[in-house]
């Protein structure tokens, strides 16, 4: 077994992370940038970083991810990468002709101290950014935060494109956070059903879950347009889904352009979806359509029909803060008991939220922000669980401890479907519950003695 050396005894560590539950900032920045139509993400650093970020996204989304790099050499690593970046801007617009370049830094360019805002100004002054084309930038040093921080920083930089005209556009900005392209599609389906006009940003649907058409498109059809981003300052409000991924951008719009914002949890599970729908309904001043009430009812039906299989089952959960908070609430609401919870992203507020959600559970809950998979494994060894929920890296713990695993989160490298089937909203919660029930019932079928092996569960 691959993790057989993980000891049961837990010793306090302050400076060492083992099997991190996070990845580097630019991966998040690159994913967010791909949610703008006609955008070429640009990595200001060495080729190696860019290759890693692209391959990490490609392995999860199973789609080619194009991005350019400043290709630092020894010289730029010592003296700074401005010359490389200026040359890159010229080449990118001449060769690849994007609508917009979304540039992020890397550990190396941050350590040197390259200032992307100043480089952009110089590029503008020197006429390297053609008329009608754009460049945004985000600072994404990977030695702080995580991929979630990088995502948030790039989304915040999108807000910099807002150009209020003084006339409201009657739309609601929705910042969905780091969810799958299928989730973004589902959010759009729900808002359409309720009758709310929205600007969803970023929007990777149609970009990272597109069809195989036989025709190569450098810039797929999906994504929020630059014109829509410019219009976000005229919207009647912003719903930011997730404190870690989306709140900074929403607050920036509020502060700079007086677009009022609400920070909600990501709509995973029954209660968080209820709050999202309620916020939409209130903004639109409409009643919830019957179709949506039907979907909610189906979810409640499945929860009550199958309750006996999930009741008081112990769960270990790992992932990104916004997702894990909503998932914890969902699990507790169906009487499951998430007892070990880890995120790799820093932030004590995460631990406070989880403690609050799990306070009435019959078992105590271990929770750690800036934790790692090693700690999660040790907790599981000390207090075993019935189910593990997390990304593909959990498969090692799952195999070593013989615990059923539901793959959910980022990255999922060894299964399919996450790009196409949403887990947000009522329909998404039905799918989550189906996945949870499937592994629990498969395990029952595997472990029941012959005398108790039932055809109908």
Binding residues (CB under 6 A) for ligand SF4: these are 24, 26, 45, 49, 52, 106-107, 142
CB of 27 to ligand SF4, least distance (A): 7
Convert 320-334 to b/e letters by CB count within 10 Å (16 or more is b): bbbbbbbbbbbbbeb
Beta carbon nearer to ligand SF4, 49 or 405: 49
| Tokens describing residue 248 | 């900074």
Cβ atoms of 299 and 270 within 8 Å: the answer is yes
Other Cβ atoms closer than 10 A to 281: 17
Distance in Å, CB of 329 to ligand SF4, minimum: 31
Map tokens 């999860």 to a residue.
Answer: 60
Residue in the structure block whose two tokens are 């290759």: 51
* Bond prior to 431 in cis (omega within 30° of 0): no
Select 53 or 314, whichever has its Cβ closest to ligand SF4: 53
> What is the secondary structure of 243-279 as a DSSP string?
TTTTHHHHHHHHHHH---EEEE----SHHHHHHHHHH
What minimum distance in Å lies between the beta carbon of 51 and ligand SF4? 9
- Tell me whether residue 77 or residue 441 sits nearer to ligand SF4 (CB atom): 77
| Shortest separation between residue 303's beta carbon and ligand SF4, angstroms | 41
Whole-angstrom distance, CA of residue 174 vs CA of residue 166: 20
Identify the CA nearest to 167 among candidates 233, 239, 244. Answer: 233
In 306-346, which ranges are E strands?
314-318, 337-343
What does residue 364 show for φ and ψ, rounded to 5 degrees?
-70, 155
**How wide is the angle at C-alpha 329 spanned by C-alphas 302 and 274, nearest 5°?**
65
Beta carbon of residue 34, minimum distance to ligand SF4 (angstroms, whole number): 17
Minimum gap (Å) between residue 26 Cβ and ligand SF4: 5
Cβ at position 104, least distance to ligand SF4 in Å? 9
Closer CB to ligand SF4, 110 or 186, in the complex: 110
Let me know the angle formed at the C-alpha of 34 by 342 and 170, rounded to the nearest 5 degrees. Answer: 95
User: Between residues 7 and 48, which has the closer beta carbon with respect to ligand SF4?
Assistant: 48
- Supply the DSSP string of 16-58, one letter for each residue: --SSBS---HHHHHHHHHTTBTTEEEEEES-HHHHHHHHHHHH
Least distance (Å) from ligand SF4 to the CB of residue 140?
A: 7
Other C-beta atoms lying within 10 Å of the C-beta of residue 443: 15
Whether residue 330 contacts residue 429, with contact meaning beta carbons closer than 8 Å, is answered with yes
Nearer to ligand SF4, 142 or 419 (CB): 142
For ligand SF4, the closer CB: 52 or 421:
52
Nearer to ligand SF4, 73 or 165 (CB): 73
Structure tokens at 69: 């790099």
Identify the three-state secondary structure at position 199.
Answer: strand
Nearer to ligand SF4, 28 or 237 (CB): 28
CB of 364 to ligand SF4, least distance (A): 35
Is the Cβ of residue 49 or residue 387 nearer to ligand SF4 in the bound state? 49
CB 311 to ligand SF4: min, Å: 42
* Dist CA 114 CA 77 (whole Å): 10
């Amino acid at each position: 077994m691959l993790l057989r050396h993980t000891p049961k005894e837990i010793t306090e560590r302050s400076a060492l992370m083992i099997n991190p539950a996070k990845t580097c900032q630019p991966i998040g920045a690159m994913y967010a940038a791909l949610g703008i139509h006609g955008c070429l993400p640009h990595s200001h650093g060495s080729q190696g970083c860019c290759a890693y970020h692209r391959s990490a996204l490609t392995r999860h989304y199973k789609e080619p991810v194009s991005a350019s790099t400043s290709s630092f050499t020894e010289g730029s690593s010592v003296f700074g990468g401005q010359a490389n970046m200026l040359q890159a801007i010229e080449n990118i617009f001449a060769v690849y002709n994007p609508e917009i370049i979304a540039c992020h830094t890397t550990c190396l360019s941050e350590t040197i101290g390259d200032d992307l805002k100043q480089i952009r100004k110089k590029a503008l002054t020197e006429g390297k950014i053609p008329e009608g084309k754009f460049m945004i930038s985000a600072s994404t040093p990977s030695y702080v935060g995580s991929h979630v921080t990088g995502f948030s920083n790039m989304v915040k930089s999108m807000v910099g494109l807002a150009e209020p005209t003084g006339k409201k556009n009657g739309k609601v900005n929705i910042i969905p956070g780091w969810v799958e392209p299928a989730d973004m599609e589902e959010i759009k389906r729900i808002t359409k059903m309720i009758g709310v006009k929205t600007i969803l940003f970023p929007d990777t649907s149609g970009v990272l879950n597109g069809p195989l058409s036989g025709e190569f498109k450098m810039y797929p059809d999906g994504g929020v347009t630059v014109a829509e981003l410019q219009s976000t300052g005229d919207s009647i409000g912003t719903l930011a889904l997730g404190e870690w991924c989306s709140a900074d951008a929403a607050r920036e719009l509020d502060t700079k352009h007086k677009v009022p914002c609400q920070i909600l949890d990501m709509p995973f599970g029954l209660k968080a979806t209820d709050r999202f729908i309620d916020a939409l309904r209130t903004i639109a001043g409409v009643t919830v359509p019957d179709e949506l009430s039907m979907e909610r009812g189906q979810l409640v039906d499945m929860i009550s029909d199958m309750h006996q299989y999930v009741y008081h089952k112990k769960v270990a959960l790992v992932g990104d803060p916004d997702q894990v908070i909503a998932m914890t609430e969902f699990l507790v609401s169906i009487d499951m008991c998430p007892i070990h919870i880890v995120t790799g992203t820093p932030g004590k507020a995460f631990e406070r939220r989880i403690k609050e959600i799990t306070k009435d559970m019959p078992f105590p809950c271990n929770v750690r922000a800036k934790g790692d998979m090693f700690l999660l494994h040790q907790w599981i060894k000390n207090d075993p669980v019935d189910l593990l929920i997390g990304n593909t890296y959990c498969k090692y713990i799952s195999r070593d401890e013989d615990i059923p695993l539901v793959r959910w989160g980022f990255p999922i490298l060894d299964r399919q479907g996450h790009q196409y089937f949403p887990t947000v909203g009522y329909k998404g919660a039905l799918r989550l519950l189906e996945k949870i029930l499937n592994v629990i019932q498969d395990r029952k079928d595997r472990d029941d003695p012959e005398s108790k092996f039932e055809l109908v569960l």
